[in-house]
Amino acid sequence: MLELTNITKVVGADTHIHPTNLVLQRGSLNVLLGPTLSGKTSLMRLMAGLDKPTSGTIRFDGKDVTGVRVQDRSVAMVYQQFINYPAMTVYENIASPMRIAGKDAATIDREVKQAAELMKLTPYLARTPLNLSGGQQQRTALARAIVKNASLVLLDEPLANLDYKLREELREELPKIFAASGAIFVYATTEPGEALLLGGHTATMHHGSISQFGSTIDVYRRPVDLVTAKTFADPPLNTLAVVKSGGSFLQDGAPLLFVPAHLADIADGPCIIGFHPYHLSLDGTSDAAAVLPARIIISEIAGSESFVHVESAGARWVMLEPGIRNIEPDTRVNLALDTRHLMAFSTDGRAIAGRLDRAA
Amino acid sequence: MEKTWNNKAWFMVLPVLVLVAFSAVIPLMTVVNYSVQDTFGNNEFFWAGTDWFIQVLHSSRFWDALQRNLLFSVIILSIEIPLGILIALNMPKKGFGVPVCLILMSLPLLIPWNVVGTIWQVFGRVDIGLLGYTLAALGIPYNYVNNVFDAWITLIVMDVWHWTSLVVLLCYAGLVSIPDAYYQAAKIDGASRWSVFRYIQLPKMKRVLLIAFLLRFMDSFMIYTEPFVITGGGPGNSTTFLSIDLVKTAIGQFDLGPAAALSLIYFLIILLLSWIFYTVMTTSDAQN
Amino acid sequence: MARISLDHIRHAYGPNPKSPADYSLKEVHHDWDDGGAYALLGPSGCGKTTLLNIISGLVSPSEGRILFDGRDVTNLPTQDRNIAQVFQFPVIYDTMTVYDNLAFPLRNRRVPEAEVDRRVKEILEMIDLSSWAKKTARGLTADQKQKISLGRGLVRNDVSAILFDEPLTVIDPHMKWVLRSQLKRLHKQFGFTMVYVTHDQTEALTFADKVVVMYDGEIVQIGTPAELFERPRHTFVGYFIGSPGMNVIPARIDGTTADLGGGQVALGFKPEIASGAKVELGIRPEFVRLGREGMPVTISKVEDIGRHKIVRALFADRPMAIVVSENGEIPSEPRITFDPAAVNIYADSWRVSDPSLANGRA
């Protein structure tokens, strides 16, 4: 178990990490999700012991490791860049942490072969990393991190430099590999979709703070504030400032849409509503749908689905439509908003829990 | 990237600190000691205060030598820096030419100062030197022993030959770090050769050029061995630089007090000028 | 803006290529329309960057010609081709201001200063950087720098084409959305011919009118995003486009039905397949219906990715991906059916068309 208690990191006049508390369980996969410079790497460096926190304590299995150097901790790290020993073969690269640990040759051989099999590297063991594709190089780095048998494995955007399809394959494989090991995995990414595919737990980061930590799908579906909801949305979250009054959300005093059942009992007054692009559609007709007039800005077709940028109620939104929807700009349409998943936030950005959420 | 935090790292630099203390700080303190006292041998010292400093600063010998130093540095900097950049720009960026050029460029840097002096002393001799003899045979009057102009030319050409490589190597290192995309973009933008140099290459070379400039300034300002070997400070006092003057005062005349004062003044001038150059060049960088 | 003709282009990096394997770009012979937005999509090493460099003039092809509006530019250097290019990492002149960066290509071409000023201001407006005009380009964020790179192309009115070499690599996901839709809007508004190289299908499909899918030095399909999605010509296209990619299942054809081992699927036409060919059926995860009827499958994992669920299942002992909507339920005895319109048949990896339809394999 890794416990961060009131950790901060201040470098000169810049606060890289605001007071942070986080508890990561053994055998868990934890995603740090946030844009560039949100503090993911800084936090990982503190966890690894590469940097010393300005204040606060770090405990590993109850033992205070705050001042312990990275060499004396059981940590493995994989970076965005493919970092391997260029002069060694893949076999020797994977074997290197065990050689340093002084394991016997038979154990090394067995574990290297096992890791290579897991990472689909068996045919390439005799090659040097420079003769491998990017995906294979990164697999080598991952295999090395795994054989090290560290109790904490940190992965800093490990798939960012790989081709789209390779990323997809590794994303599917990685959770299996993680599950087989008993270590704590921490995985930093800028992509919400990656966090969702990996599952596990997610901590959303924003300006050097963790805005929410919990099971990935829970953080996605029930963000505690607007910042979390926005960080955890790709395509971007659609938002609108409205005033709740009885059974309606008003804009400029006029009713815009009805208040769905799960938000019926929240207090009247100004609030911000948020919803994902796939909750907007062109032809939703269910009872749960509110109808909003809109103007098309541009349509982007992504094969199985289309991203339609629209302007409605004075705001710019994205609508995710299944199939091919190539609508001419400036066309006037009526959008159906599926209100069953509507999120509400106070004007200062905190989530307002509806009846269903509280029940859940 | 933040530094790795490790207190034990200080122990690693301790030997160097001790070495610097013995090699620089202690001799420097000795010099300070000499500069404020008078001695007639027998380890008898008399307090002289700032007398020696005043004497040095009032002597035309000092000002003449200082002027020669400045002139020499200005000349060699204004030749070596542009020439070094020019050569670096024209060096091959890939292929077998790279190691060949790098080795050729490094050769002059590998030769010890006094040997460089001796090479040029012989090279320029009218009776047996290749250069001197050839020039004489061509009917060009050349004699660094009794012609002031020839002596200066010889020293300058020698310094350029010896040290331009350093500027070249530093600039080359800066140039090869520029990604290809920059040159491609410049081509697409229709940039001239000059624009590419001015807006891509020069900005990327700025840091190494600063280092090259400082190194060459300090080195040339402290030049000693080569003129000592080639001209011995002559003809007359025409190539007597501060360093040579200093040695003449200290060893030749055994005026330890004035010599110590002179060396301290010399030291402070170099420190001051280097600091000025550094500050001017880095602040202009920061303003951009 | 220009129409780009690639006339029997082949390229090998080594000298004296003999077999097709020596060519990193096998024969490319196509016309690209004036004002079109094209994406070159494929994995690393598929030849897409080579093709882009041939268009920009950084690489001259081993064989064939390249024409802009019918004019042969094969031997013209980059600077004489009137193209603009945005690179993977932003290229800016960091000692200049944002304004001067944009003015640079015009000043190099001796455009009068009044005209320079007018155009630069117009572009600054277009790329939303007007308030940054007087700032040094060095302090900008990656996406702003990338906009400047683009702006330096847009500012010239003589460009034949704007080329993009994976321009969003260093941009955060949220900014990608903004930049992509801006780019799309600029294209609609001004009609530049654009060629965009990427390995990211979302970028390619959202950006381009026509996507050129490349694989192993060859163009395997050129099509609209809809064509690539619905009628992949090659199983590679099926795999590469779509997330997850198309399910490809070995099949045996018997008249108008396909026998998949785990069940039979009616095709509605009789595919003509040469004997001995490897036959496969392709169906996208989006068009597999999970319910209580049809062919039995075993579910191994369900990935909830928010807007929908990806069900990983075993069908006839082979992995299959199925997309289920956000509120869709997963039955306890799951069975699958295929949307008949979305079934494609492949012989030796190439699509076999319905002979009664004209829009077959060209």
Q: Is C297 helix (H, G, I), strand (E, B) or coil?
A: coil
Task: List all chains that touch chain B, counting a touch as 3 or more CB pairs closer than 8 Å.
Answer: A, C
Range of the domain at B101: 59-254
**Domain assignment present for B273:** no
Alpha-carbon distance B283 to nearest alpha carbon in chain C (angstroms): 14
Mean pLDDT for chain A?
87
Range of the domain at A53: 2-225
**Domain assignment present for B12:** no
Pair (A52, A160) in one structural domain = yes
Residue whose C-alpha is closest to residue A305's, from A193, A196, A220 = A193
Q: In this complex, is the C-beta atom of B178 within 8 Å of any C-beta atom belonging to chain C?
A: no
Pairing of β A289-301 and β A75-78? unpaired
Report pLDDT digits (tens) over A257-310: 889 888 888 889 999 999 999 999 887 666 678 888 999 988 888 777 888 999
Mutation pick from A9, A16, A51 vs chain B, by most beta carbons of B within 10 Å, is A51
> Do residues C346 and C258 touch, judged by C-beta distance below 8 A?
no
**Domain assignment present for A295:** yes
Residues of chain B with C-beta less than 8 angstroms from the C-beta of A45: 2
Nearest to B188 among C78, C93, C95 (CB): C78
pLDDT beyond 50 at A359: no
Burial annotation C2-35 (CB, 10 A radius, 16+ → b, else e): bbbbbbebbbbeeeebeeeebbbbbbbeeebebb
Name the residue ranges covered by the structural domains of chain C: 4-230, 245-352
Nearest to B2 among A51, A69, A70 (CB): A51
Q: What is the pTM of this model?
A: 0.79
Which tokens is C191 given?
């009609």
Helices marked H in chain A: 40-48, 90-101, 105-118, 134-147, 164-180, 192-198, 216-221, 226-231, 355-359
pLDDT beyond 80 at A231: yes
Residues of chain C with C-beta less than 8 angstroms from the C-beta of B209: none
Residues of chain A with C-beta less than 8 angstroms from the C-beta of B4: 50-51, 70
When pLDDT is cut at 50, 70 and 90, the band that residue A360 belongs to is very low
CA distances in angstroms from A165 to A37, A162, C195, listed in the order given:
26, 8, 21
Task: List all chains that touch chain A, counting a touch as 3 or more CB pairs closer than 8 Å.
Answer: B, C
Q: Is A116 helix (H, G, I), strand (E, B) or coil?
A: helix
Report pLDDT digits (tens) over C121-138: 988 988 888 888 888 888
Whole-angstrom distance, CA of residue C72 vs CA of residue C65: 7
DSSP single-letter state for residue C168? T
Quick one: pLDDT at residue A295?
93
Pair (A43, A158) in one structural domain = yes
CA distances in angstroms from A43 to A220, C77, C99, C163, listed in the order given:
21, 49, 38, 38
- Count of CB atoms situated within 10 Å of the CB of B90: 9
Q: Give me the residue label for tokens 């020439």.
A: B83
Give every strand in the sheet of A55-60, ordered side by side: A14-24, A2-11, A55-60, A63-64
Are C185 and A298 a contacting pair at CB < 8 A?
Answer: yes
Alpha-carbon distance B69 to nearest alpha carbon in chain A (angstroms): 43
Whole-angstrom distance, CA of residue C35 vs CA of residue C181: 17
Bridge partners of C224, per DSSP, are: none
**Domain assignment present for B218:** yes
Longest dimension (CA), chain A: 77
Torsion of CA A58, A64, A68, A73, to 10 degrees: -80
Q: Give me the residue label for tokens 């402290």.
A: B222
Pairing of β C344-347 and β C350-352? antiparallel
Are B2 and A69 a contacting pair at CB < 8 A?
Answer: no
**Domain assignment present for B284:** no
| Cβ neighbourhood burial of B96 (10 Å; 0-12, 13-18, 19+) | exposed
**Domain assignment present for B211:** yes
Report pLDDT digits (tens) over C49-82: 889 989 988 888 888 899 998 889 888 888 888 8
Pair (A213, A336) in one structural domain = no
Are A329 and C177 a contacting pair at CB < 8 A?
Answer: no
| Cα torsion angle, B256, B259, B265, B268, sign | negative
**Domain assignment present for A354:** yes
Which tokens is A338 given?
């599926």
Q: By CA distance, what is A9's nearest residue in B? A: B2
Are A69 and B6 a contacting pair at CB < 8 A?
Answer: yes
Bridge partners of A292, per DSSP, are: A335
**Domain assignment present for B33:** no
- The proportion of chain A whose per-residue pLDDT surpasses 70, expressed as a percent, equals 97
Q: By CA distance, what is A192's nearest residue in C? A: C173
> Do residues C206 and C191 touch, judged by C-beta distance below 8 A?
no
Pair (A203, A66) in one structural domain = yes
- Count of CB atoms situated within 10 Å of the CB of C218: 18
Per-10-residue mean pLDDT, chain B, length 288:
58 83 81 76 70 77 84 92 92 84 87 81 80 80 78 86 90 88 87 89 86 86 78 75 77 74 84 84 63
- The proportion of chain C whose per-residue pLDDT surpasses 90, expressed as a percent, equals 29
Residues of chain B with C-beta less than 8 angstroms from the C-beta of C83: 188
Are B6 and A11 a contacting pair at CB < 8 A?
Answer: no
Q: In this complex, is the C-beta atom of B288 within 8 Å of any C-beta atom belonging to chain C?
A: yes
Report pLDDT digits (tens) over A194-220: 999 888 999 999 999 999 999 999 999
Q: Is A30 helix (H, G, I), strand (E, B) or coil?
A: strand
pLDDT beyond 80 at A77: yes
Provide the number of structural domains found in chain B. 1
Report pLDDT digits (tens) over C166-212: 888 888 888 888 888 888 888 888 888 999 999 888 889 888 889 99
Are C305 and A234 a contacting pair at CB < 8 A?
Answer: no
For helices B202-221 and B256-287, give the axis angle rounded to 10 degrees.
170
Residues of chain C with C-beta less than 8 angstroms from the C-beta of A234: 173-174, 177
Which residue would you say has higher pLDDT here, A342 or B47?
A342
Which residue would you say has higher pLDDT here, B55 or A82?
A82
Are C242 and A304 a contacting pair at CB < 8 A?
Answer: yes
pLDDT beyond 60 at A151: yes
pLDDT beyond 50 at A33: yes
**Domain assignment present for B236:** yes
Are A164 and C242 a contacting pair at CB < 8 A?
Answer: no
Q: In this complex, is the C-beta atom of B190 within 8 Å of any C-beta atom belonging to chain C?
A: yes
When pLDDT is cut at 50, 70 and 90, the band that residue C102 belongs to is very high
Pair (A221, A244) in one structural domain = no
Alpha-carbon distance A213 to nearest alpha carbon in chain C (angstroms): 17
CATH topology of domain C4-230: Rossmann fold (3.40.50)
Which tokens is B40 given?
């007639």
CATH number at residue A353: 2.40.50.140
CATH number at residue B69: 1.10.3720.10
Residues of chain B with C-beta less than 8 angstroms from the C-beta of C93: 199-200, 203
When pLDDT is cut at 50, 70 and 90, the band that residue C360 belongs to is very low
**Backbone phi, psi, residue B114, to 5°:** -65, -30
Alpha-carbon distance C140 to nearest alpha carbon in chain B (angstroms): 13
Distance in Å from the first CA to the final CA of chain C:
28
- Please report, as a single letter, which amino acid is at residue C220: V
- Count of CB atoms situated within 10 Å of the CB of B78: 10
**Domain assignment present for A231:** no
Q: Pick the range with the lowest mean pLDDT from A55-59, B65-69, C104-108.
A: B65-69
Report pLDDT digits (tens) over C299-327: 988 888 888 899 999 998 899 999 998 77
Alpha-carbon distance C213 to nearest alpha carbon in chain A (angstroms): 13
Among chain C, residues having any CB pair with chain A shorter than 8 Å are: 43-45, 142, 172-174, 177, 180-181, 184-185, 188, 199-202, 205-207, 224-226, 228-229, 239-245, 284, 286, 303-308, 312, 326
Residues 6+ apart with CB under 8 A from B127: B133
**Domain assignment present for A200:** yes
**Domain assignment present for A55:** yes
**Domain assignment present for B121:** yes
CA distances in angstroms from A15 to A7, A56, A186, listed in the order given:
12, 14, 22
Pairing of β A29-33 and β A14-24? unpaired
Q: Give me the residue label for tokens 């169906």.
A: C283
> Do residues C259 and C245 touch, judged by C-beta distance below 8 A?
no
Pair (A88, A198) in one structural domain = yes
Nearest to A301 among C225, C306, C307 (CB): C225
Residue whose C-alpha is closest to residue A47's, from A26, A85, A76, A86 = A76
**Domain assignment present for A66:** yes
**Backbone phi, psi, residue C283, to 5°:** -140, 130
Report pLDDT digits (tens) over C212-267: 999 888 899 999 888 898 899 999 999 998 888 999 999 998 888 889 888 888 88
Q: In this complex, is the C-beta atom of B199 within 8 Å of any C-beta atom belonging to chain C?
A: yes
Are B182 and C91 a contacting pair at CB < 8 A?
Answer: yes
Q: By CA distance, what is A10's nearest residue in B? A: B2
CA distances in angstroms from B106 to A3, A73, B101, B123, B156, listed in the order given:
55, 45, 9, 21, 19
Provide the number of structural domains found in chain A. 2
- The proportion of chain A whose per-residue pLDDT surpasses 90, expressed as a percent, equals 34
Pair (A197, A280) in one structural domain = no
Residue whose C-alpha is closest to residue C247's, from C260, C255, C256, C257 = C260
Residue whose C-alpha is closest to residue A183's, from A147, A140, A225 = A147
**Backbone phi, psi, residue C288, to 5°:** -95, 125
Are A217 and C306 a contacting pair at CB < 8 A?
Answer: yes
Quick one: pLDDT at residue A354?
64
Quick one: pLDDT at residue C197?
93
pLDDT beyond 70 at A331: yes
Are C104 and B187 a contacting pair at CB < 8 A?
Answer: no
Whole-angstrom distance, CA of residue C158 vs CA of residue C81: 10
Pair (A59, A37) in one structural domain = yes
Among residues A176, A193, A225, the one where a domain terminates is A225
> Do residues A226 and A202 touch, judged by C-beta distance below 8 A?
no
DSSP single-letter state for residue C141? -
Pair (A98, A212) in one structural domain = yes
Residues of chain B with C-beta less than 8 angstroms from the C-beta of C159: none
Pair (A200, A276) in one structural domain = no
Residue whose C-alpha is closest to residue A38's, from A144, A192, A246 = A192
Pair (A134, A207) in one structural domain = yes
Are A45 and B2 a contacting pair at CB < 8 A?
Answer: yes
